[in-house]
Amino acid sequence: MADYDVDLFTIGAGSGGVAASRRAGSYGAKVAIAESVRVGGTCVLRGCVPKKLLVYGAEFADAFEDAAGYGWSLGERRFDWPRLIAAKDKELDRLNGIYINMLNASKVQIIDAHARVVDPHTVEVAGRRVTAANILVATGGRPELPKIPGIEHAITSNEALDLRELPKRILIVGGGYIAVEFAGIFRLLGVDVTIMIRGDRILRGFDEDIRTVLSEELQSRGIAIHPRTEITRIDRTPEGLMACTKAGTKLAVDEILYATGRRPNTETLGLAEVGVQLNKAGAVAVDEGSRTTVPSIYAVGDVTDRLNLTPVAIAEGRAVVETLFNDNPMTVDHRNVASAVFSQPTVGTVGLTEEAARQTHGMIDIYRARFRPMKNTLSGRSERTMMKLVVDRKTDRVLGCHMVGRDAAEIIQGIAIAITCGATKKQFDRTIGIHPTAAEEFVTMRDKVPEPDAQAAE
């Protein structure tokens, strides 16, 4: 066997890379990890964690407003954006330190530099070359901006997390989960929010009922949604940033946030030069074991553009390490992975959408409930919850669960276990609910939604 400097060299110290490196170290492997920015990656430093902290901060606006209905008298309220950002940054510093300590505890060598693959077993980093039995690419992705005049005036989700002051007006371009989450944050904090999308509705790829219900709820909060709209240029004017559309309309705002997609970080890694196959978007092509077209090189997480979720990246990284260093071959099942959108209200989903289920299973049954949550009765809030089950008519197996409403993410996490285990609608029906909760609705839905043809005939 060849003699290498390390058993595993990981490029990228985000969630997937750190999880893989730590576990490899715990199995006695000699591991090095290179990170050119900061240990923690997108989720901890530029995505899930800081964004969720801003969501928590913004949601106090609803809590204060609802309190009066429950007998509370509140005094003057004032929000301090710089104070929230400072608190967020302090927490990110703490998490960065924890990640570094975890790597050190697993005897993983941390290299604060950009790494580049120069052959199947060699990485160039910090002015030297390191040989490795195996190389793991976990460099994630980054926001992608369109090439239009004036795009330099726009910001991405990265900059949105570090704005020095809260804008009075913001235009969010895009209708994915990042777009609607930031729309909710800014609107709760009193910002005038407009969303522009090229398609007809937000959250493309989600269940149609989720898309419809969330659109209604966002608009009820005062968020303007402009479908089938394309921006052709951005100008800086005395009135602010001017977004000019293909239709000839213009909108003046203080900030323009683009959330129109992300691109894998592969350009400067030297992967194609050593034979690693990349797709048109630059994502690393891998097999079910996360191995690339070069047998000694693996890739996990967003850089592969499979299922871009932090827990998936962690699972993929650990599966690679179990296979390589623990004589325990593993792969990750990317089916039935639960996900959430921390919008206002929250979206939770697991399994197949109604549309996908009809295509893959043919005859299905749909159960759907829409109601005003108990908490909103005294507060007077009009926000409603939607819950939906997608069931295979032939086997009675529940193929998908979808929810829009408060605590949707927490509820769907538990439902995901049942879906993974192949639970049937009859088993859902036999489960006794916890009352009074919104979650009990998932086990009390008895009436099927009429077939689409029958609904159209009514």
Give the chain's count of helices (H) and strands (E): 13, 21
Burial state string for 298-334 with b = 16 or more CB within 10 A and e = fewer than 16: bbbbbbbbbbbbbbbbbbbbbbbbbbbbbeeeeebee
User: What is the set of active-site residues?
Assistant: 435
pLDDT at 1: 47
Using alpha carbons, select from 243, 131, 141 the residue that is nearest to residue 196. Answer: 243
Distances (CA, A) of 451 to 151, 233, 359, 402, 429: 46, 45, 15, 18, 21
pLDDT at 454: 57
Alpha carbon 114 to chain centroid, angstroms: 25
- Strand blocks (E) in 35-137: 108-111, 115-119, 122-125, 128-137
Residues in the chain where the model's pLDDT stays below 50: 1
Using alpha carbons, select from 314, 356, 321, 320 the residue that is nearest to residue 336. Answer: 356
Cβ-defined contacts of 240-245 (< 8 Å, 24+): 240/169, 241/153, 241/154, 241/171, 243/171, 243/173, 243/196, 245/196
Q: Return d(Cα 287, Cα 264) in angstroms, integer.
A: 17
pLDDT at 452: 82
Contacts of 324 (CB under 8 A, 6+ apart): 8, 24, 29, 134
- Strand-pairing partners, residue 350, are 401
Please give the structure tokens belonging to residue 112.
């604060």
| Lookup result for tokens 């980093």 | 125
User: In residues, how long is the chain?
Assistant: 458
Q: Return d(Cα 436, Cα 377) in angstroms, integer.
A: 13
In the three-class reduction of DSSP (H, G, I as helix; E, B as strand; rest coil), residue 453 is classed as helix
In the three-class reduction of DSSP (H, G, I as helix; E, B as strand; rest coil), residue 19 is classed as helix
Mind listing the pLDDT tens digit for each residue in 199-250? 999 999 999 999 999 999 999 999 999 999 999 999 999 999 999 999 999 9
Contact 180, 260 (CB under 8 A): no
- Strand blocks (E) in 30-76: 31-34
Q: Return d(Cα 228, Cα 199) in angstroms, integer.
A: 5
Mind listing the pLDDT tens digit for each residue in 26-62? 999 999 999 999 999 999 999 999 999 999 999 999 9
Contacts of 9 (CB under 8 A, 6+ apart): 31, 32, 33, 34, 115, 123, 130, 132, 134, 135, 136
| Cβ count within 10 A of residue 380 | 10
Using alpha carbons, select from 329, 274, 1, 257 the residue that is nearest to residue 135. Answer: 274
Q: What residue ranges define each of the domains in the chain, with the CATH number in brackets?
A: 6-143+263-325 (3.50.50.60), 151-260 (3.50.50.60), 339-457 (3.30.390.30)
0.85 exceeded by pTM = yes
Contact 246, 379 (CB under 8 A): no
